[in-house]
């Protein structure tokens, strides 16, 4: 499914409203096969003569349809849950909807102790930014403190706190947990700082 300004991360949830005919057909195909979809992230382009569908980010997440509610008018509300980082290799079908050949991006962590330290550093930095005298800030901080796995922490922070999908998209292509942590530590400012321009 090709969408601008949208991506889903492993462990994350994404609600979608399906109304276009091609995506209705795609949804039926997915529901009758493996219930898996990927979001192709459309990238911005300055070339007015090119097809927008040709500018698709190379990484995505295989996501399972966790819930789907069909409406009488043929539209559907669904919830995707991210499962696995993937790389888009080629297209095996274009019409009526795209089907891609993909390969998984397996997570690796060559230096667990270093990743754990960087994860704690990221956690404290993020909590310092969001912990305010509001219920939502306290609830989010409490959720973050339960994440002991640096891999899950990175995905949670990227999905929930990095608002620009283009800024966080490269994280989907990084297999090494430490590289993801370094990438996020560059994006998340220290308390009182402004975020680095993306």
Q: Are 134 and 89 within one domain?
A: no
Total domains, the chain: 2
User: Of 73, 104, 135, at which residue does a domain stop?
Assistant: 104
Give me the CATH number covering residue 172: 1.20.58
Residue 192 domain flag: no
- Indicate whether 116 and 100 sit together in one domain: no
Interior CA angle at 49 toward 47 and 52, to 5°?
70
Point out the residues of the chain with pLDDT beneath 50.
Answer: 49-50, 191-198
Same domain for 57 and 33: yes
* Same domain assignment for residues 59 and 144: no
Q: For 70-121, what is each residue's pLDDT tens digit?
A: 999 999 999 999 999 999 999 999 999 999 999 999 999 999 999 999 999 9
Q: Residues 54, 122: one domain?
A: no
Range of the domain at 121: 112-187
Note whether residue 122 is domain-resident. Answer: yes
Judge whether 169 lies within some domain.
yes
- pTM (2 decimals)? 0.84
Residues 12, 97, single domain; the answer is: yes
In Å, how far are 146, 147, 172, 175 from 166, measured between CA atoms? 27, 25, 11, 18
Residue found by looking up tokens 């996020």 in the block: 184
Cis peptide, bond prior to residue 96, ω within 30 of zero: yes
- pLDDT over 70, % of the chain: 88
Residue at a domain's end among 85, 104, 123 = 104
What local confidence, expressed as pLDDT, does residue 78 receive?
96
Q: Note whether 87 and 105 are within 8 A (CB).
A: yes
Tell me whether residue 126 is in a domain.
yes
Q: Within 13 Å of residue 19, how many CA atoms lie on the same side as its CB?
A: 3
What's 71's domain CATH number?
2.30.130.40
Residue 197 belongs to a domain: no
Query: Could you tell me if residue 194 is inside a domain?
Result: no
Say whether both 89 and 49 belong to one domain.
yes
d(CA 81, CA 4) in angstroms, rounded, equals: 19
Let me know whether 97 and 183 are in one domain.
no
- Return the HEC string of the chain: CEEECCCCCECCEEEEEECCHHHHHHHHHHHCCCCEEECEEECCCCCCCCCHHHCECCEEEEEEEEEEEECCCCCEEEEEEEEEEEEEEEEEECCCCCEEEEEECCCECCCHHHHHHHHHHHHHHHHHHHCCCCHHHHHHHHHHHCCCCHHHHHHHHHHHHCCCHHHHHHHHHCCEHHHHHHHHHHHCCCCCCCCCCC
Whole-number CA gyration radius for the chain = 18
**What confidence score (pLDDT) does residue 165 get?**
87
* Residue 130 and residue 87 share a domain: no
Separation between Cα atoms, residue 13 and residue 31, nearest integer Å: 18
């Amino acid at each position: 499914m090709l969408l601008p300004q949208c991506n889903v991360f492993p462990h994350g949830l994404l609600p979608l409203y399906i109304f276009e005919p091609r995506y209705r057909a795609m949804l039926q195909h997915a529901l009758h096969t493996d219930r898996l979809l990927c979001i192709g992230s459309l990238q911005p382009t300055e070339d007015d003569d090119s097809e927008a569908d040709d500018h698709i980010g190379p990484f995505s997440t295989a996501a399972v349809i966790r819930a789907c509610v069909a409406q009488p008018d043929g539209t559907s509300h669904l919830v995707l849950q991210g499962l696995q980082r993937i790389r888009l290799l080629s297209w095996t079908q274009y019409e009526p909807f795209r089907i891609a050949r993909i390969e998984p991006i397996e997570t690796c962590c060559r230096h667990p102790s270093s990743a754990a330290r960087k994860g704690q550093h990221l956690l404290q930095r993020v909590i310092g930014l969001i912990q305010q005298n509001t219920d939502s800030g306290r609830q989010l901080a409490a959720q973050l403190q339960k994440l002991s796995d640096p891999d899950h922490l990175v995905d949670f922070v990227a999905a929930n706190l990095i608002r620009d999908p283009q800024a966080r998209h490269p994280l989907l292509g990084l297999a090494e947990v430490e590289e993801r942590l370094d990438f996020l530590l560059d994006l998340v400012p220290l308390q009182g700082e402004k975020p680095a321009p993306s």
